[in-house]
Structure formats: C-alpha cells, structure tokens
Structure 1
Amino acid sequence: MRFVTSAIALLASTQLASGYTIKADGVNCRSGPGTSYSVVRSYNSGNDVTLSCQTSGETIKGDSLWDKTQHGCYVADYYVQTGTSGYVAKKCGSTGGGGSTGGGSSSGYCKSVNAASLNLIKEFEGFVKSPAPDPIGLPTVGYGHLCQTKGCKEVKYKFPLTQATAEALLKDDIPKYTCLGKYLNGKVKLNDYQWGALVSWVFNVGCGNAKSSNLVKRLNAGENPNTVIAGELPKWNKAGGRVLSGLTRRRNAEVKLAKTPSSKQAYPSCK
C-alpha cells in the first residue's frame, strides 16, 4: 500500500489539481491551514478551485487535510469536493505555508498549558453556554471559542454547554494557539508559566498578530522573556480601536503569571 500511495503522490506532484468544487457557502480561505489564521477571501457553494498543493493542519469535521488554492490561501479539504479524503495534489512545504520565522523550532514544545494558565483564560474569556456576540460583536461560545460556522455547528458538544463541556472545548482549542512555538527560533527558553501567559495572549490576539509582533522579534533576539513579556503584553489592550479595561486587566494578569517561578520547561521542548 505504501508503494501505491507514493506513486499516486508522485503523479499528483507533476501537475496542478484543478476543477474541484466548493460544497458550502461562506467557506473561508485562510493564510494558513487552520482557523486561527486570518481570512484572505471566502468561497460559495459551486465555486471552482485549483489546488497547488495540500497539507495537514487543524482537524475540521474529522478531516485534517487543507488545500492551497489558486489564490494562495488554504481551505479545509472537508469543504472541497475532491472525491477522496486523501491527497490529490502534491504536498506543500513542511510548514504547510503557515510559515515559521527565525529558523523554526523543535516540534516538542507544549501543545497545552498548565492549570493556572487554563484558569486565567477561563476567567477572562468568561463562560457562555450558547453562541452569543462578544464585546466587539464576534460570535463566541464556551470559554472564548470563536464560531466558525453559523450557529457554531462545528462544536461537537451539545448546547447549552455545561462548564465541564466548555472546558473540554477550550482544551480542544488550545493546541492551535500554541502556534507561537513555530515563530520562535528554538533558542528561546520558556517555563510553563511564561508559556501559559503567552498562549493566553495568543488565544486573545490570534496567531497572525503574534507572528508579526515585536514580542516575537525581541524574544528571538535573545532578550530576557520576563522583560519582554512585561514590556510588550500591556500594549495589547485595545479591541475595535479602543482600550478595554478587561484587556488591560488580562494583560496585567498574564504578566504576573509569567513571573511565577518554575523549573518546568515548556519551550523549546515540553518537559
């Protein structure tokens, strides 16, 4: 079976895969293979796309494959009628187009956060049992889960959520906000409290903003993590162009969390 699969992959790599149809309305095409990446454009049911390559990414409806279209953005393969759940085009680069900076890092960094960090996220996101707009009008549910479909149909837990199922949903979401590990150069050393504070920040501002941030640049330049965190996080206290007291309190809490002493490493490897 391995040889057959390799042969198919080799054949696919020699040409673009074209003529595939989008099978739902309002399908987002993103800058990387996951819902934490920014939306570049949207497709509607019946739109045709050409696939330049495919890569693995965030799992959507049980499918972790993502398709890079002729517009240079990524669509979850679940929404594309390729006729198979396997590859029909060549594989994208090892980063899947999400792009690591500063030379990349070990894949051993933590994909989760410690209890104190999880509780901080829960406290500031707040518990929402059924989908509802957040302070800037974005539909969310649970502890800060941003709905990707109408009515948050992608959530596998029954509404109204309980606090237990909301926490389970949060734990499902956390790994995609550990994207910070792809942007650091591997020489940065972070303990579990520093890591948790930064994941909380990324959970709030998104992977794209984190990737281009001065915080990442300073960490990769070798500055002391707590100095960088204390200097940079408080700047991220605006939403919709205005300062929010809740964000100011959250940034202060994240800085305080990061200063908690710990010998447990979370980056570049999870120990």
Structure 2
Amino acid sequence: MKFTLFAAAAALASTAVAFPITGDSVNCRSGPGTSYAVKKSYAKGHDVTITCQTGGTSVSGNSIWDKTSDGCYVADYYVKTGSSGYVKPKCSTGGGSCSAPKSNAATVDLIAEFEGFVAKVYIDATGHPTVGYGHLCTKSKCAEVGYPIPLSKANGKKLLATDMAKAEKCVTAMLNSKAVLNANQYGALVSLAFNVGCGAVQSSSIVTRLNKGEKAATVYPQEFPKWVHGGGKVLPGLVRRRNAEVALAKKAAGKALPC
C-alpha cells in the first residue's frame, strides 16, 4: 500500500512539473492562436504548469500551444519544455482536439456574397494588395494565389475556401463537446468569425452559451443580431449578413461538431 501511494504521488508530481517562459512578456490567450484575446502575460523566466497541449497558429514554425494551469494558451515556442513535440496529453475538449471540418458550399457562397469579388489585384482601404473575395496578398503580384489572375469567380471561391481555414480552425478550437452544431450552424459561426475576428467570437456570449449546451437554434437568433455595429452605428450590410447567417443555420444539415 505504501509503495502504491508513493508511486501515485510521484506520478502526480511528474505531471505538475513547471516549465520556464523564454520570451519577454509572452501573452497567454483565450485560445490556441494569435487571433485570440490576451488573458494575461508571463515575464521571462516565469514557470508555467501545462495541463494539456493542442495545435494552433504556427509561431516560428511551431504550431503547438500549451494550455496552462491559468486556463489560457501560450505558444509552445516560448516555453522551454525540452522538446519540439508534445510533452503533455492533447487537450480532450475544444482547444483544437480534432481537425476543423471544412465549411460546406453554402457557407462559402454566403461569405463570397458579402465579401464581394474583384478579379484583378487592387489596393484595399488599408493599403494592402487584395484579390478575389478579399484575399490579402502575401507575395508580390499575389504569386501565392496559385490561380491565373485575373481570377475567375470559381477560382476565387476556391481561394476563399482556403482563406477560411483559419476561421474554421479557431471556431473548432473554441467549442467544447457540449456544443453540437450541424454543418450549416457551424458555417454560420465560421462566417461570423471570418467577418469580425476569432478573438471577438471566442469571448462572446455565443460561445459561452454553446459551450453550456444551449442549442444553436435558440442562441443564434438572439445573439447574432447584436453583431451589426461599426463606428457606433448599425450598418445595413452587417444586418443583412447576420440575417443570412441565421437563415443558413436554420437549414437542416449533417453533423459538424463535436468531431
């Protein structure tokens, strides 16, 4: 019995090992990615206890994010674990524990409708070269696109579907196993995140309610209409988009989450 108790205590101690932060003022976020809200910051040398690990935004080639005992996520790149791989179990609910489902065609079409299409490269209002359905170019002449420019609408939607991956991944990561969504309900939330940013959605009452097990059919009509403001004013375009997202979510479809 004594040996059993000692072994259990040793195992518990090994799981509670802390790891030092290697960067200066490293942010711990509400989800596994740089788009999530900052919950707190760690000073260099601060020891953190990791409860589980998951995939997220790549930081200098490392896409692992560590969930700390503080309940937030820090990029593993800034934590000295002694390994470039996983040293803790993968987070079992939410937190990117499964591959994000791809949005269906209805979701791609909805986002495309509201993003608008431009076949040639243009400079957007923020000064960034842009093409297609709002794709922000990362290389000269949008060389990363991989489709002939001027873009066809068909290729523009393929590019849009690729650009939506970030929103899909963070929506999947922010929801736990109590959040049950069909493909259209999932797509509506992806559209919202693509529009307003994943950090904003992750900290919203939408996600809080879904993660408590409330049904999307109840939550969406009550919560989505709140996201229609810009510059302190109600924007008609956002009203139309939120209405379209809620309408999409009301349509029957196969299960998307939990995966």
How high is the TM-score relative to the length of structure 1?
A: 0.60
* Alpha-carbon displacement from aligned partner over 1:214-251 (angstroms, at most 9, x marks no partner): 5763795665x445433332221124543223211210
Among 112, 117, 124, which residue is 2:114 paired with?
Answer: 124
* Alpha-carbon displacement from aligned partner over 1:114-157 (angstroms, at most 9, x marks no partner): 011012223334569689666xx9x8977668x9xxx979xxx8
The equivalent of 2:150 in structure 1 is none
How high is the TM-score relative to the length of structure 2?
A: 0.63
The equivalent of 1:50 in structure 2 is 47
Q: Aligned-pair distance for 1:83?
A: 5.5
RMSD of aligned C-alpha atoms?
4.7
Query: How many residues in Structure 1 have an aligned counterpart in Structure 2?
Result: 233
Answer yes or no: is 1:29 the counterpart of 2:21: no
Q: Distance in 2 between matches of 1:170 and 1:213?
A: 25
Q: Distance in 1 between matches of 2:113 and 2:167?
A: 15
Q: Which amino acid aligns with 1:248?
A: V
Secondary structure, counterpart of 2:56 in structure 1: strand
Structure 2 unaligned regions, length at least 5: 1-10, 148-155
Alignment of 1:46-195 (within 5 A): 47-53=44-50, 55-60=53-58, 61-68=60-67, 73-80=72-79, 84-87=83-86, 94-95=92-93, 98=95, 111-126=101-116, 158=143, 163=156, 166-167=159-160, 169-179=162-172, 182-183=175-176, 185=178, 188=180, 190-195=181-186
Q: Distance in 2 between matches of 1:12 and 1:152?
A: 44
1:68/1:216 CA distance change after superposition, 3 Å: closer
Task: Give the number of the structure whose alpha-carbon radius of gyration is greater.
Answer: 2
Q: Distance in 1 between matches of 2:129 and 2:12?
A: 42
Structure showing the higher helix proportion among its residues? 2
Among 230, 238, 242, which residue is 1:247 paired with?
Answer: 238
Alignment of 1:205-224 (within 5 A): 205=196, 206=198, 209-210=201-202, 212-213=204-205, 217=209
Answer yes or no: is 1:17 the counterpart of 2:19: yes
Structure 1 unaligned regions, length at least 5: 1-8, 100-106
- Percent pairwise identity: 45
